[in-house]
């Protein structure tokens, strides 16, 4: 019997997960079926249970179901607990395991695919929501020289900084605490680009930056990336396509025991930044 996997969310038609995992399965010789399932409001648990009862082996979780998946899991990893959200579930004899691979996928894309070191660098992280929380510990594991979290609500950034302070030098505050020319890597973990908006930052945040990274993907040159390029044309600019592929590869390896290469997938789903 072919093992079944799926991605759950709402909306779901846009999801690249079936394409990605189909390419991974072909490249690694794994026999799986992967589908996408629309989750009506309030229907997550029923759909997850039905899928599991029918012999499903695991699920990817996308918005707005990551909090539901966190509550549904019997056990959750430290990365999921830090994020307060789950983006992958695994069903086994021991129950339902919950993971969050977003942060490790982001770090791998930056350090491996883009060739940008985080170790010893000064990092500016915009936003203090679930995406930022998921990225925090993987970032700190790379031992940056410093990490500054800026958020529209300073208290949320400061809370996140307190949580991560045991792992290195972290500061936090509102957008008015962003220092001109003080960062090597600038990462936008806000939802602003999903609506075509720009986080309230100025061009001088990029004065000495070597990378501007946008977690949103498939939006082309977002206002955030456009500002970064205007401020410093020589910097590298990237959206979250590589992060999407890398977190998917982590989930695939967690389920199947083999980690696929991501280069072909990234090439297939990348939209040029122009």
pLDDT digits (tens, 9 = 90+) for 91-131: 998 899 999 999 999 999 999 999 999 999 999 999 998 88
Those residues with Cβ within 8 angstroms of residue 85's Cβ, 6 or more apart along the chain or in another chain: 66, 67, 69, 70, 100, 130, 133, 134
| Residues contacting residue 16 through CB under 8 Å, at least 6 positions apart | 244, 269
Higher pLDDT, 205 or 168: 205
Residues of the chain with CATH 3.40.50.10860: 3-100+245-269
Say if CB 227 and CB 206 are below 8 A apart: yes
DSSP 203: G
- For residue 36, give every residue at least 6 positions away whose Cβ sits within 8 Å of its Cβ, in sequence order, or none: 6, 7, 8, 9, 12, 13, 15, 17, 18
Alpha-carbon distance values, 159 to 51, 136, 151, 162 (Å): 37, 12, 11, 5
Task: For strands 170-173 and 146-150, give the pairing.
Answer: parallel
- The catalytic residue positions are 66
Confidence label for 194 from pLDDT (cuts 50, 70 and 90): confident
Q: Topology of domain 3-100+245-269, per CATH?
A: Rossmann fold (3.40.50)
The pTM (predicted TM-score) of the whole model is: 0.93
What count of other Cβ atoms lies within 10 Å of the Cβ of residue 207? 15
pLDDT at 138: 93
Considering the chain, tell me which residue range(s) the CATH 3.40.50.720 domain(s) occupy.
Answer: 103-239
Is-cis flag, bond preceding 11, omega within 30? yes
Among 133, 121, 29, which Cα is nearest to 82's? 133
Residue 87: the pLDDT is 95
b (16+ CB within 10 A) / e for 160-173: bbeebeeeeebebb
**pLDDT at 221 > cutoff 70:** yes
Q: How far is CA 37 from CA 11, 18, 95, 229, 243, in A?
A: 9, 11, 21, 38, 22
Mean pLDDT, to the nearest integer, of 22-31?
A: 97
Give Cβ neighbours of residue 81 (< 8 Å, ≥ 6 apart): none
Which pLDDT score is estimated for 1?
64
Structural fold of domain 103-239:
Rossmann fold (3.40.50)
* DSSP per position, 52-91: HHTT--EEEE-TT-HHHHHHH-SEE-HHHHHHT--SEEEE
List beta partners, residue 60: 7, 88
Q: What is the pLDDT of residue 15?
A: 92
Residue 24 confidence (pLDDT) above 90: yes
């Amino acid at each position: 019997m072919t093992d079944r996997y799926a991605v759950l969310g709402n909306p779901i038609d846009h999801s690249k997960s079936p394409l990605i995992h189909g390419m991974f399965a072909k490249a690694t010789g794994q026999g799986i079926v992967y589908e996408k399932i629309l989750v009506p409001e309030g229907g997550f648990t029923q759909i997850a249970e039905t899928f599991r009862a029918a012999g499903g082996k695991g699920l990817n979780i996308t918005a707005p179901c990551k909090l539901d998946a966190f509550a549904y899991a019997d056990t959750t990893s430290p990365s999921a607990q830090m994020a307060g959200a789950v983006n992958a579930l695994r069903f086994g004899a021991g129950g339902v395991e919950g993971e969050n691979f977003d942060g490790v996928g982001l770090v791998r894309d930056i350090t491996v695919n883009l060739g940008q070191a985080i170790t010893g660098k000064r990092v500016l992280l915009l936003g203090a929501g679930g995406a930022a929380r998921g990225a925090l510990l993987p970032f700190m594991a790379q031992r940056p020289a410093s990490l500054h979290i800026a958020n529209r609500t300073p208290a949320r950034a400061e809370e996140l900084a307190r949580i991560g302070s045991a792992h290195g030098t972290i500061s936090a505050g509102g957008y008015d605490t962003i220092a001109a020319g003080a960062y090597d890597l600038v990462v936008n973990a806000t939802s602003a680009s999903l609506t075509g908006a720009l986080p309230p930052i100025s061009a001088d945040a990029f004065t000495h930056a070597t990378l501007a990274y946008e977690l949103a993907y498939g939006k082309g040159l977002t206002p955030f990336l456009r500002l970064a390029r205007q401020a410093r044309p020589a910097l590298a600019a990237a959206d979250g396509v590589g992060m999407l592929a890398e977190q998917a590869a982590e989930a695939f390896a967690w389920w199947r025991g083999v980690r696929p290469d991501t280069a072909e997938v990234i090439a297939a789903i990348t939209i040029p930044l122009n």
